[in-house]
């Protein structure tokens, strides 16, 4: 038998709990996880095509049987050089992505009674998860399928940052001019390796968040209001050639260089230079019912990063 004082104490506690619930104000805004993806900014995408096995593109290189001056024609000439074309094919794999939401009919009814729909929450979660998977695919790839991305492809030429006057290569110990020199050397190397074609001059640079913050906050000189970032954007080779250079922070560049150093990625952000295919944007499939449970599957498909012109990308480690 329960003693009377205990009964009165339970009643008091219950009343207090009820009172607190009555005084509680529930904020209608749901606090979702803070998460960001940058691939739409840094990587061109080709959308459409449906669920396919792979994506291929044709490369062509040209060669002549003669040297440049052999093409000069004279009356006594009896041999004319012949142009040749060598065709090859690049193949990019596609990856299927799938996830489903699941809840019982009673769970849905309970949440709906207080103005919440479980499908709304879970739909946002699935879309965020898919977007983050694509983000990793674009920048790093997946070790499970031995794929790489924009920041760590073995196809790309890698160099080390040049030591400054202080003997170290890291930007934190370099002067604004030495940082600008690192960037201009990388830009000119890509430009030179592509026969100085204006279509190969890089227009986009990715650097770790820490280095980007340093460029924004450090001034060119103590008596100057210009940041190093402004100075670099105004005086680089690409800008002087009429291009618009973009320098963006990228969390995937930190610690990915040789010896776990930080990496700068210099490239041409253009769909016919480097891209990936979103062959099947995230799609909701037909709802499935199993006894009292509701299941709603989602599916998407995307390709690995396609370096159509690997020579237009350059890695600089140790910045």
pTM above 0.85, yes or no: no
Domains, the chain, ordered by start? 39-69+91-148+281-306 (no CATH), 158-276+308-317 (3.30.2320)
Closest C-alpha to 164, from 156, 174, 154: 174
Backbone angles phi, psi at 124, to 5 degrees: -65, -40
The whole-number pLDDT of residue 13 equals 60
The whole-number pLDDT of residue 68 equals 67
The whole-number pLDDT of residue 165 equals 81
Closest C-alpha to 293, from 122, 103, 117: 103
Tens digit of each residue's pLDDT, the chain (319 residues): 445 555 555 555 666 666 666 666 666 677 677 778 999 999 999 999 988 988 888 777 777 776 766 676 766 666 777 878 778 788 899 999 999 998 888 888 887 776 778 888 888 999 999 999 999 999 999 999 999 999 999 999 999 999 988 788 999 999 999 999 999 999 999 999 999 998 899 999 999 999 999 999 999 987 788 999 999 999 999 999 999 999 999 999 999 999 999 999 999 999 999 999 999 999 999 988 888 889 999 999 999 999 999 999 999 999 9
The whole-number pLDDT of residue 29 equals 72
Is 203 within 8 Å of 270 (Cβ atoms)? yes
């Amino acid at each position: 038998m329960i003693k009377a004082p205990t009964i009165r104490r339970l009643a008091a506690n219950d009343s207090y709990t009820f009172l607190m619930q009555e005084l509680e104000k529930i904020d209608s805004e749901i606090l979702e996880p803070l998460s960001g993806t940058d691939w739409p900014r840094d990587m061109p995408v080709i959308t459409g095509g449906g669920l396919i096995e792979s994506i291929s593109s044709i490369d062509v290189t040209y060669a002549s049987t003669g040297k440049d001056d052999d093409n000069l024609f004279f009356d006594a000439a009896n041999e004319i050089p012949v142009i040749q074309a060598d065709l090859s094919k690049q193949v990019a794999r596609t990856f299927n992505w799938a996830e489903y939401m699941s809840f019982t009919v009673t769970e849905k009814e309970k949440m709906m009674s207080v103005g919440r729909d479980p499908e709304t929450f879970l739909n946002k979660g699935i879309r965020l998860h898919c977007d983050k998977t694509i983000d990793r695919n674009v920048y790093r790839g997946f070790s499970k399928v031995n794929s790489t991305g924009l920041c760590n492809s073995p196809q790309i030429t890698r160099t080390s940052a040049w030591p400054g006057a202080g003997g170290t290569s890291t930007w934190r110990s370099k002067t604004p001019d030495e940082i600008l020199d690192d960037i201009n050397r990388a830009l000119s190397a890509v430009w030179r390796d592509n026969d100085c074609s204006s279509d190969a001059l890089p227009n986009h640079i990715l650097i770790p968040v820490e280095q980007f913050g340093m460029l924004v906050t450090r001034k060119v000189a103590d008596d100057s209001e210009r940041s190093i970032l402004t100075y670099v954007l105004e005086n680089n080779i690409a800008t002087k050639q009429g291009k618009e250079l973009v320098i963006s922070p990228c969390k995937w560049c930190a610690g990915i260089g040789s010896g776990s150093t930080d990496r700068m990625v210099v490239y041409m952000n253009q769909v016919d230079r480097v891209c990936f295919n979103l062959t099947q944007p995230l799609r909701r499939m037909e709802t499935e019912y199993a006894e009292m449970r509701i299941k709603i599957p989602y599916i998407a498909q995307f390709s690995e990063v396609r370096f159509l012109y690997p020579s237009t990308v350059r890695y600089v480690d140790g910045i």
